[in-house]
């Protein structure tokens, strides 16, 4: 069985490659390359593998974990506040990898099926494990 849980958060970010000049950043990142950045209302969705029906009791534990992880990023500018994004562009893909690393600190990889991070309803990234 796969238990699917979600947690939402809002964050700001900007895309910039410090090794590039302004023109190359604008050409590569378009409207996402701005001085102050922009924000999104993200939704993190995680599929947890339940190995038997008795494990449904883990639902609140897993939901609390997701809430803790997303609360850390909620209403923050990722480039300035989250250490992992000081030198890494906080793309949807990199934010999803950030969550995967954090989840692995609390949950065995064998208990994770997938992670989806929605930047908007029509744009997301997915990691299948």
pLDDT in the model for residue 10: 98
- Whether the pTM exceeds 0.85: the reply is yes
CA distance 94 to 98: 6
pLDDT in the model for residue 87: 87
pLDDT at 91 over 90: yes
CA distance 75 to 90: 15
Q: What are phi and psi of 37, to 5 degrees?
A: 90, -165
Give residue 46's pLDDT band: very low, low, confident or very high (50, 70, 90): very high
CA distance 85 to 93: 12
pLDDT at 18 over 90: no
Give residue 36's pLDDT band: very low, low, confident or very high (50, 70, 90): confident
CA distance 73 to 92: 13
CA distance 11 to 125: 16
């Amino acid at each position: 069985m796969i238990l699917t849980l979600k947690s939402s958060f809002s964050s700001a970010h900007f895309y910039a490659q410090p090794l590039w000049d302004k023109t190359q950043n604008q050409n590569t990142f378009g409207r996402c390359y701005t001085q102050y950045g922009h924000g999104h209302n993200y939704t993190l969705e995680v599929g947890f593998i339940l190995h038997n029906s008795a494990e449904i009791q883990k639902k609140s534990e897993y939901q609390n974990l997701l809430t803790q992880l997303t609360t850390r990023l909620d209403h923050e500018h990722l480039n300035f506040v989250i250490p992992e994004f000081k030198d890494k562009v906080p793309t949807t893909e990199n934010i999803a990898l950030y969550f995967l690393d954090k989840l692995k600190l609390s949950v065995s990889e064998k208990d994770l099926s997938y992670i989806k991070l929605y930047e908007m309803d029509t744009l997301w990234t997915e990691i299948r494990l």
